[in-house]
Amino acid sequence: MLFPTLAFHVFFLAVFALNRLMARARDWRVILLLLASWLFYGLWDARFVALLMASSLWNWLWARVIAWGKGPRLLWLWLAILGNLGVLGWFKYAGFLADLAGMPLAQAIILPVGISFFTFQGLSYVIDVYNGRTRPARLLDLTLLMSFFPHLVAGPIVRPSHLLPQLRHAPRLGRQEAAACLILILWGTVKKAVIANDISVHLVDPVFADPAAHSSLELALAAYGYAVQIYCDFSAYTDMAIGLAGLLGFRFPRNFDQPYRAASLQDFWRRWHISLSSWLRDYLYIGAFGGSRQALWRTCFALFGTMVLGGLWHGASWNFVIWGALHGGVLVAERLWQRARPAAWPTLPAWAGTVITFHIVALGWIFFRCTEFSGAIAFLRGIAAGRGGGAPLASAWVLALIALGMACHFGPRHAVQRSARALAVLPGWAVGLIGTLVLLVVEGLRGGGIAPFIYFQF
Amino acid sequence: MDDGLPWGESPIDLAEEDSAPMQAGVQTGWRWAWGVLGSSSLALVLFNSHALANWADQLPPNDLTAPIVTAADAWHDQAGKLGLNTVVDSVDRWTKSARGDERASE
């Protein structure tokens, strides 16, 4: 069930109404949301609901053992972590590793949607309990934390210490908050159904499918187009997730903050997929590799290693490793340059940093988008060849959408909040009619159906 | 430990609501949101029969779904005759010409 569809609309209306009716019945509300989440997930593949349940039970059990305080707590923590990584490894990497070993699997393994997201939620829960950052939760609450449908399949990764306390209180929803939620849902629908979909169908997919048949200019435009597509696709999902959770009385963290406005790659990672980058920072870069309070070479190794593993998190492919290594390498270079740059040298203007950073990110997206390493290299060679081509594929319409996707990075940072304040003074029915008009325009603009979100595959 | 998401870290956090006592706001927010969702859902049933017809067309064909598909298609035709699909149809036509779909289909 995809967010911007009729089936989800009906599903959400029912959940919204029942959630409100059960606002004061804490446990029944959690049970309702849990059942709704399992239904939502089960409509993809009912078999994996059992995996979700088992994963929740596993993490709950080990967190209890760790919190009990008897025996080797570190060993219990490692057992819990290995269990999580074992499941993730089997589904995501077994085929890749078998291929590497020259023993391809007889049958392809079906990847459960969102497994990376709910496994990371489980991991952060047991590690947080071990470190005393969160109290052990009830099984019911932890299962909802890991299964909650707004963030289940593509994030944002919500920390236990952020969500679990919200389950202990009656849900709150102010009028302006509700307006902000609705704006996020509508804006997310526009970004996904119009911008990302059209750029994908009319430019990115045909060009990436056959780079040799297109001119260098078109290849470059497709690379820019994919940068905008992946932003509009992924940020749309998390905008909608935040808005939907908000309407049910839950506050989710911000996950994107105008990422292509970043003036350095370090800045980019403070703005892109913030819930994953902060997860990698806290649990890998600092937790496992020791962070920046150590010798410079070890810090650089930590940075590079974190980004390579972050690349692998996206899937078992050399292209994801290269994508992570590119980001890790540039982050290391930035850090070394910060240390080595003579103080008297002039600093780069912010706009130049933004342009350079965007092009490094766009270069990385080419590896991210191509399934094979050779495909990415052929794509880059095609750009560098400077060859002309026949009739251009990129229409003025697609170029306008790319420009719109970029423009929203340079608009006011708090546009959603300002619009929410303005909208909240209107009566509900009037806002409903405005929303309807927007959705009707989206329906007319989007043409065919809605493609699955890019991050569902992770 | 376990103090929840700090205020301001969610895009739905609006500063003045944090300091105000939420009890009155809580009720207003729910009711208001319900008004928005209810009115837009009704309006969408009226003015977006495309979505209903598309959804019905994607159902697996069997005896159970056949009447649903027939009803959805009938409503889509009726809505077209009544001019309720004007917004979606007009935007669709405009978008096709902007995309250059006619050129592609030639």
Q: Which residues of A touch B28 (CB under 8 A)?
A: 174-175
Q: How far is CA A441 from CA A5, A241, A438, A451, B52, in A?
A: 15, 22, 5, 18, 16
Question: Which pLDDT score is estimated for A1?
Answer: 77
Instruction: Please tell me whether residues A127 and A237 are part of one structural domain.
Output: no
Q: Is residue A390 in a domain?
A: yes
Between CA A90 and CA A92 the distance in angstroms is 6
**Domain termination site, one of A121, A149, A171:** A171
Nearest to A177 among B29, B31, B35 (CB): B29
Buried b (16+ CB within 10 A) or exposed e, A38-61: bebbeebeeebbebbbebbebbbe
Question: Which pLDDT score is estimated for B4?
Answer: 81
Instruction: Please tell me whether residues A140 and A247 are part of one structural domain.
Output: no
Question: Which pLDDT score is estimated for A102?
Answer: 77
Q: Which residues of A touch B36 (CB under 8 A)?
A: 178, 182, 428-429, 431-432, 435
As a whole number of angstroms, the longest Cα–Cα distance in chain A is 72
Nearest alpha-carbon partner for A248 in A41, A9, A23: A23
Between CA A247 and CA B56 the distance in angstroms is 28
Min CA distance, B70 vs chain A (Å)? 17
Instruction: Report whether A428 contacts B39 (CB < 8 A).
Output: yes
Q: What is the pLDDT of residues A250-259, one digit of tens each?
A: 999 999 999 9
What average pLDDT does this structure show over A108-120?
A: 87
Question: Which pLDDT score is estimated for A449?
Answer: 64
CB burial class (10 A; 0-12, 13-18, 19+) of residue A401?
buried
Cβ separation of B22 and A441 shorter than 8 Å? no
Between CA A384 and CA A216 the distance in angstroms is 7
Number of CB pairs, chain A paired with chain B, less than 8 A apart: 186
Instruction: Please tell me whether residues A253 and A227 are part of one structural domain.
Output: yes
What average pLDDT does this structure show over A332-357?
A: 91
Instruction: Report whether A172 contacts A213 (CB < 8 A).
Output: no
A409 is catalytic: no
Say if residue A328's pLDDT is above 90: yes
Between CA A450 and CA A110 the distance in angstroms is 22
Task: Return the axis-axis angle of helices A139-147 and A47-68, rounded to nearest 10°.
Answer: 130
Min CA distance, A36 vs chain B (Å)? 19
Chain B contact probe: residue of A164, A250, A443, A445 with most B CBs at under 10 A = A443
Q: Is residue A1 in a domain?
A: no
Q: Is residue A93 in a domain?
A: yes
**For residue A213, what are the domain limits?**
176-457
Q: Which residues of B touch A181 (CB under 8 A)?
A: 12, 33
Query: Range with the lowest mean pLDDT among A228-242, A381-395, A419-433?
Result: A381-395
Instruction: Please tell me whether residues A73 and A200 are part of one structural domain.
Output: no
Query: What interface predicted TM-score (ipTM) does this complex get?
Result: 0.86
Between CA A145 and CA A165 the distance in angstroms is 11
Computed over every residue of chain A, the mean pLDDT equals: 91
Between CA A127 and CA A284 the distance in angstroms is 11
Which of residues B2 and A86 earns the better pLDDT score?
A: A86
Min CA distance, A231 vs chain B (Å)? 17
Instruction: Report whether A123 contacts A83 (CB < 8 A).
Output: no
DSSP at A280: I
Q: Is residue A234 in a domain?
A: yes
Min CA distance, A271 vs chain B (Å)? 13
Cβ separation of A7 and B55 shorter than 8 Å? yes
How many structural domains does chain A have?
Answer: 2
**In tens digits, what is the pLDDT along chain B, a chain of 106 residues?**
556 888 888 999 885 555 444 444 455 788 999 999 999 999 999 999 988 898 888 888 888 889 999 999 999 999 999 999 999 999 989 888 877 764 444 3
Amino acid (one-letter) located at A89: G
Measured between CA atoms, the residue of chain A closest to residue B4 is A162
Instruction: Please tell me whether residues A289 and A310 are part of one structural domain.
Output: yes
Instruction: Please tell me whether residues A149 and A188 are part of one structural domain.
Output: no
Q: How far apart are the first and last CA of chain A?
A: 17
What average pLDDT does this structure show over A321-337?
A: 95
Instruction: Please tell me whether residues A159 and A226 are part of one structural domain.
Output: no
Question: Which pLDDT score is estimated for B40?
Answer: 95
Cβ separation of B51 and A6 shorter than 8 Å? yes
Q: Which residues of B touch A444 (CB under 8 A)?
A: 87-92, 94-95
Instruction: Please tell me whether residues A98 and A247 are part of one structural domain.
Output: no
Please report which residue ranges of A22-46 form alpha helices under DSSP H: 26-45
- Assess whether the previous peptide bond of A160 is cis (omega < 30° from 0): no
**Domain termination site, one of A119, A152, A171:** A171
**Catalytic-labelled residue, pool A214, A314, A327, A409:** A314
Cβ separation of A242 and B94 shorter than 8 Å? no
Nearest to B11 among A171, A416, A447 (CB): A416
Instruction: Please tell me whether residues A167 and A197 are part of one structural domain.
Output: no
Instruction: Please tell me whether residues A387 and A310 are part of one structural domain.
Output: yes
Instruction: Please tell me whether residues A118 and A216 are part of one structural domain.
Output: no
Q: Is residue A148 in a domain?
A: yes
Instruction: Please tell me whether residues A59 and A115 are part of one structural domain.
Output: yes
Say if residue A176's pLDDT is above 50: yes
> Residue A297: which pLDDT band, with cuts at 50, 70 and 90?
very high
Question: Which pLDDT score is estimated for A32?
Answer: 96
Chain B contact probe: residue of A6, A127, A128, A442 with most B CBs at under 10 A = A6
Min CA distance, B59 vs chain A (Å)? 11
**pTM, two decimal places:** 0.91
Q: Is residue A18 in a domain?
A: yes
Say if residue A363's pLDDT is above 60: yes
**Domain termination site, one of A171, A195, A222:** A171
CB burial class (10 A; 0-12, 13-18, 19+) of residue A156?
buried
Q: Which residues of B touch A170 (CB under 8 A)?
A: 26
Q: What is the pLDDT of residues A48-76, one digit of tens each?
A: 999 999 999 999 999 999 999 888 999 99
Q: Which residues of B touch A6 (CB under 8 A)?
A: 51-52, 54-55
